[in-house]
Structure 1
Amino acid sequence: MAKKTTQIAIYGKGGIGKSTTTSNLTAALSKLGYKVMQFGCDPKSDSTNTLRNGSYIPTVLDTLREKSTVNAHEVIFEGFNGVYCVEAGGPAPGVGCAGRGIITAVELFKQQRIFEELDLDFVIYDVLGDVVCGGFAVPIREGIAEHVFTVSSADFMAIYAANNLFRGIKKYSNAGGALLGGVIANSINAPYAREIIDDFVSRTKTRVVEYIPRSVTVTQCELQGKTTIEAAPDSAQAKVYFSLAEKIAEHKDSKTPEPLSVQDLREWASRWGDYLLALETGSVKPEYSANL
């Protein structure tokens, strides 16, 4: 009997570092001894680049446009340390649904029972998180992913996207949809950034899985077309990614979040904005944030 494959979806606002985080998570899990597939679900098709020395791979949709019948193995490519890389792809610019690649690719892999054949421990879906589209909701809505994590910084638009994701998870939670594992807090350097994220997860009844600082090491490695795990395995940043991977590997209990209403979210953000301005001008002390 094949082992159970844990399927995880990682969402986040475009540009927030979601693919960087996902690729380093995939690389770290592989170094911990797990068999992992990373499934890029962004139409830009660049999720797996740093797992393959910066190179692009043919997408599922591109391949299907060239031929009517596709063996899933034709769109699976080997990456760093034996990880499996797949890019769902998207339609031609301005034509069709951007989420169609996810729907088509997932159906192809399910029909051919690829996850069971490869005996995978983890499939990690890297999904664009700030586009309202049915295709992007597939891993949540249809319960394909067992656990959902969102990458967010302390910036308002990243938190706004995370809160929208929480709304989607809650909507489908009673119909067998995926539940939330937690927030991966990215680019957390300033003390107030951690406070903002901590306050947000407290109010939405979720948790922070890992705090990831902004690091020039990541940029240096990506300019080489590699993950930090591959190019700088002994760095402080790599240790953070390994810590995240260990926590994800051990994670079992996901829950339904309690998203804020749009009005409550804006009022919450406004209070934080006032506090940060007062902090900058010196009219309040840092510990005041506890009273927000």
Structure 2
Amino acid sequence: MVSRETSTNDTGYVVRTAADLAERSQSFQDDTTPLARAVEHSVRARSQALRTDGMQRPDRTRVMVVANQKGGVGKTTTTVNLAAALGQLGQRVLVIDLDPQGNASTALAVDHHRGVPSTYDMLVDGSTLAEVATESEELANLWVVPATIDLAGAEIELVSVVARESRLHKAIHGHPLVGSLADVGEDRFDYVLIDCPPSLGLLTLNALVAGEEMLIPIQAEYYALEGLGQLLETVDMVKQHLNSRLTVSTILITMYDARTRLAAGVADEVREHFGDTVLKTSIPRSVRVSEAPSYGQTVITYDPVSPGALSYLEAAREIATRGIKA
């Protein structure tokens, strides 16, 4: 099991990270027993500590691309929950929804019907990032550029545009709140998270050209690494020809089921292959994580003490303390 911190209560049971607690959640449904009360107390204490311990802001904006062309790996879920977690931890976060499905916009409760200022207007019509970004009314320290259905045709419309692969880079780095503390000041964005579509088309290429870091969510299941080679080849090509600063800084294991040997085996294989690039924190398979978007929420607000919420908070802290790899 993936574990970073432990605390022992008077029952003798060792309470591990949120991903480990998910394995035993069924055992703690009766909160009338001393064991259940002790575990609940430990979880709530961990939740409080995660949310209140101070966290230093980066000295410049970190632009992170969240991508994996394999669908169903938790890409959008990871984007929105990390954004919400970082916001709760005092970081100023901008989410750019680059997926025409607009699922990130839905989960962050941002209007994305046709006609609202959106990613499409920024990429195709040349609107500035400041003109299309909207501040979240539900989540602290969070701004969103929503995706509308118009974005589905953007790749075709951009075919004849000069430097079409650099449109997003120009928009992001032209924003007055993207940059270093010295150049921008305290109002700067600490993180820009770009949620990519599950493909390697022009929209994803724009993200790879714009970003400095790449976060790849990998599902803890048998076909987890399928297609990853193609994605990494694309990243290498972008580094060689379009964006030498791009690096795969973070891999996050998602949908981890600690009850199965398969999940542990996949996690071990990923860690063996990618080493320290893989976060120590893994995200457990969780009904709460899946339910939250249908209520227009992230799991961070939908169920703040659930294993999924605590795991994303832990992952956010780990990303923040790592900084950017050399």
Both structures adopt the same fold (TM-score exceeding 0.5): yes
Alignment of 1:156-175 (within 5 A): 157-173=223-239
User: Letter of the aligned partner of 1:196 in structure 2?
Assistant: V
1:194–1:167 CA distance, 2 compared to 1 (3 A):
farther
Q: Is 1:193 aligned to 2:263, yes or no?
A: yes
Of 310, 314, 322, the residue aligned with 1:239 is 310
8 Å contact 1:98–1:135 — kept in the other structure?
no
Of 213, 216, 222, the residue aligned with 1:147 is 213
Q: Is 1:108 aligned to 2:179, yes or no?
A: no
- The 2-side partners of 1:41 and 1:98 are apart by 15
Gaps of 5+ in 2: 1-57
2:249 maps to: 181
1:145-172 residue CA offsets vs partner (Å, 9 max, x unmatched):
2221101113455422333222223334
Aligned residue for 1:160, secondary structure, equals: coil
8 Å contact 1:91–1:98 — kept in the other structure?
no
Aligned residue for 1:149, secondary structure, equals: strand
1:69–1:246 CA distance, 2 compared to 1 (3 A):
closer
- The 2-side partners of 1:148 and 1:180 are apart by 5
Deviates more, 1:175-184 or 1:104-113: 104-113
Q: Is 1:220 aligned to 2:291, yes or no?
A: yes
Alignment of 1:3-14 (within 5 A): 3-12=59-68, 13-14=70-71
- The 2-side partners of 1:200 and 1:64 are apart by 35
2:108 maps to: 51
1:110–1:208 CA distance, 2 compared to 1 (3 A):
closer
1:81 maps to: 140
8 Å contact 2:165–2:202 — kept in the other structure?
no
Deviates more, 1:18-27 or 1:199-208: 199-208
User: Letter of the aligned partner of 2:288 in structure 1?
Assistant: T
TM-score normalized by structure 1? 0.73
TM superposition shift of 1:179: 0.9
TM superposition shift of 1:105: 4.0
- The 1-side partners of 2:289 and 2:246 are apart by 30
Identity %: 22
1:107–1:174 CA distance, 2 compared to 1 (3 A):
closer
Gaps of 5+ in 1: 256-292
User: Letter of the aligned partner of 2:190 in structure 1?
Assistant: D
Q: Is 1:138 aligned to 2:206, yes or no?
A: yes
Q: Over the residues paired in the alignment, what is the CA RMSD in angstroms?
A: 3.1
Deviates more, 1:231-240 or 1:189-198: 189-198
1:119–1:136 CA distance, 2 compared to 1 (3 A):
same
1:126 maps to: 195
8 Å contact 1:152–1:162 — kept in the other structure?
no
Aligned residue for 1:47, secondary structure, equals: helix
1:73–1:95 CA distance, 2 compared to 1 (3 A):
closer
TM superposition shift of 1:20: 0.9
1:241-280 residue CA offsets vs partner (Å, 9 max, x unmatched):
100000111123537xxxxxxxxxxxxxxxxxxxxxxxxx
TM superposition shift of 1:228: 0.7
- The 1-side partners of 2:190 and 2:276 are apart by 25
TM-score normalized by structure 2? 0.66
TM superposition shift of 1:91: 5.0
Deviates more, 1:90-99 or 1:162-171: 90-99
TM superposition shift of 1:11: 0.9
Count of matched residue pairs: 248
